Amino acid sequence: MSAAGSGEVRVFAQYDRDFTEQADVVVVGSGPCGSVVAKELACAGRDVVLLEEGPPFTPADFVLDGATSMARTMREGGLRATRGTVMPTMQAIALGGGSLVNSAICARAPDFVLDDWCERFSLEATTRRDLDPHYDAVEKFLGIAPTPDAVQGQRNLLFRDGCDALGWSSEPIARNVRGCRGSGECFTGCRARAKQSMDVSYVPAAIRAGARVLTSLQVQRVLSDGRRVTGVEGQVVAPFRGSPSHRFRVDARCVVLAAGCMATPVILQKSDDLANGSGQVGENLQFHPGVSIMGVFPDPVSPQFGATQGYQSLQFIRDGFKLETLWAPPGVLATRLPGFGHALKHTLAEIPRAAVWDAIASTHRSLGRVRARRGSMDPALTWHLHPEDVPILRHALAVIAEIFFAAGAEKIVPGVHGLPEVMHDRDEARVLGSGSYGGKALTFASTHAFCTTRMHGDPRQGVVDELGRSHDVENLYITDTGTYPRCTSVNPMFTGMALAHRTALHLAERL
């Protein structure tokens, strides 16, 4: 072990030549998973270099317009989509990864999910008892707590009222925020500096403990001598434009890939198909497809006020979906409203009386894959919604409609092709749960992606073990949502951080 370095952050304007760095550990990707590893290892006295392709965003860099913000903070300008079944999916490119733009929802994977993981994927130490201490550590560090009523706002509380009226469970969402003001702007970056995204929480702590955080660096290859990895190499890229300039290399005793479920497999494939003895790198891609409905109430809702996603219901979690409230920049939400001309404008004018609620679905049968493209680090994504998963989405829509009408909505806009654009009561909405439409009639998107470098107890069936250690290469680790063997059925970030925390403690002992 070498002495921990003196912490620093480097930005694009500081690179004026090719360069090489040395470290005990190089962590690739500063999202929720990579940042936890970097901080914990730096605190344990290891010399850590954390590499991130995106820039750090300051409040002056946040743009409130949804599409402009997406073009700046998301990969492929926010327009990434799968082929096969076409589904928009978003991954961030920024210091802090997805945590910069996400809604800060922190949910522990339910017991039945962890039991299922252990049973199906020959895992022995990924039970509730094993993971809870790691969840606890992250929870404490980030101040994760249920959203208080003072910042819920009407659009979240109406959801609670609807669930109460139906006798269904619901609860305030636990989030990694301190001093949330309910601005509903999590998607474009928190101007209130309340959201504890990685760039304001784990990354500064890592730097304080001595980590070097190098931003605007795109890792292209993991270097190896066959049996062991020796570091990574890549290029300096300009913020937003991605244009390359200088080359860099980081030599390290251990490489931790945390570039996210889409990028980590691409890096491995571009490194001569490294760590792929199982043939599973880039396979098994799963999502939580999300469907949503806008409901219009008789009285003003002022939906711009309230925690971005403040309330949830786990009532139907075993049926395959989790219910939540939702807000995003109005221009993003309005993209799915039906109609033309004055009719469309009339619908827009109803947004101040509206709320949007969504469901994220566990669609285990719907699989895809990630493949490297020639001349680019962007992945080629294919994914297919399995016909047997469609009923889950239909059921979810029917349930959301029920909650809206139970909460007093005067109408809903379900956004299903071929069905009425507006529905005024439960009877009309019943068709949402019927088998009268297929997957192509639905509008869905997903920001939760998993399984492309899945963990498995059997080296022939998975890329890493429970600790994130490659089955093939002894000093290569992976810790991002790609290592999940199946989806979490709830929002994935917290579980990724808990698993990363466990990997970090293991590495601190081993190195």
Distance CA 315, CA 213 (A): 42
23 touches 210 (CB < 8 A): no
Beta strands 244-257 and 19-28, pairing class: parallel
Question: Strands, E, within 298-403: which ranges?
Answer: 311-313, 321-326, 354-361, 368-373, 376-383
| Element housing 245 (H / E) | strand 244-257
- Select from 250-258, 285-293, 298-306, 379-387 the region that touches other proteins (CB under 8 A): 298-306
313 belongs to the binding site for ligand FAD (CB under 6 A):
no
Residue ranges in 159-218 that form contacts with other proteins under rule CB under 8 A: 179, 181-183, 185, 191-194, 199-200, 203-204, 207
Is residue 511 near ligand SF4 by the rule CB under 6 A?
A: no
Q: How many residues make up the chain in this entry?
A: 511
Residue 101 or 504 with smaller CB distance to ligand SF4: 101
3-state secondary structure of 3: coil
Beta pairing partners, 380: 371
Sequence-distant contacts of 231-236: CB under 8 A, at least 24 apart: 231/26, 231/255, 232/26, 232/28, 232/51, 234/51, 236/12, 236/15
> Residue 86, interface with other proteins (CB under 8 A)?
yes
Parallel/antiparallel/unpaired status of strands 48-51 and 19-28: parallel
CA-to-CA distance for 24 and 44, rounded, in angstroms? 12
Q: Does 337 bind ligand SF4 (CB under 6 A)?
A: no
Residue 377 interface partner, choices ligand SF4, other proteins, ligand FAD, none, CB cut-off 5-8 Å depending on type: ligand FAD
**Residue 16 CA neighbour count, 13 Å, CB half:** 2
345 binds, among ligand FAD, other proteins, ligand SF4, none (CB under 5 to 8 A by kind): other proteins
Instruction: Please give the helix or strand (H or E) that residue 411 lies within, else none.
Output: strand 411-413
Selected binder of ligand SF4 within 27, 50, 174, 180 (CB under 6 A)? 180
Nearest residue (CB) to other proteins, 336 versus 506: 336
Q: Which of residues 170, 183, 470, 489 is near ligand SF4 by CB under 6 A?
A: 183
Tell me if 197 contacts ligand SF4 by CB under 6 A.
no
Rule CB under 6 A: choose which of 190, 429, 493, 505 binds ligand SF4: 190
* 204 neighbors 142 (Cβ within 8 angstroms): no
For 193: left if phi > 0, alpha if psi spans -120 to 50, otherwise beta; the answer is left
The β-bridge partners of 477 are: 256, 469
Select from 6, 167, 225, 340 the one that contacts other proteins (CB under 8 A): 340
Decide if residue 214 touches ligand FAD (CB under 6 A): no
CA–CA separation, 38 and 212 (whole Å): 9
Q: Which two tokens stand for residue 245?
A: 């300039």
With binding defined as CB under 6 A, does residue 260 bind ligand FAD? Answer: yes
378 binds, among ligand FAD, other proteins, ligand SF4, none (CB under 5 to 8 A by kind): other proteins
Q: Which does 145 bind (CB under 5 to 8 A by kind): other proteins, ligand FAD, ligand SF4, none?
A: none
CB of 341 to other proteins, least distance (A): 5
Which residues of the shown chain bind other proteins in the complex (CB under 8 A)?
A: 9, 11-14, 55-61, 64-68, 71-72, 76-77, 79, 86, 95, 150-151, 179, 181-183, 185, 191-194, 199-200, 203-204, 207, 239-240, 242, 302-305, 329-332, 334-338, 340-342, 344-346, 348-349, 351-352, 378, 417, 440, 443
Question: What are the residues binding ligand SF4 (CB under 6 A)?
Answer: 104, 177, 180-186, 190, 192, 194-195, 307-308
- Give me the residues that bind ligand FAD (CB under 6 A), please: 28-34, 51-54, 90-94, 97-99, 101-105, 187, 218-219, 258-260, 263, 267, 377, 447-448, 480-481, 491-494, 496
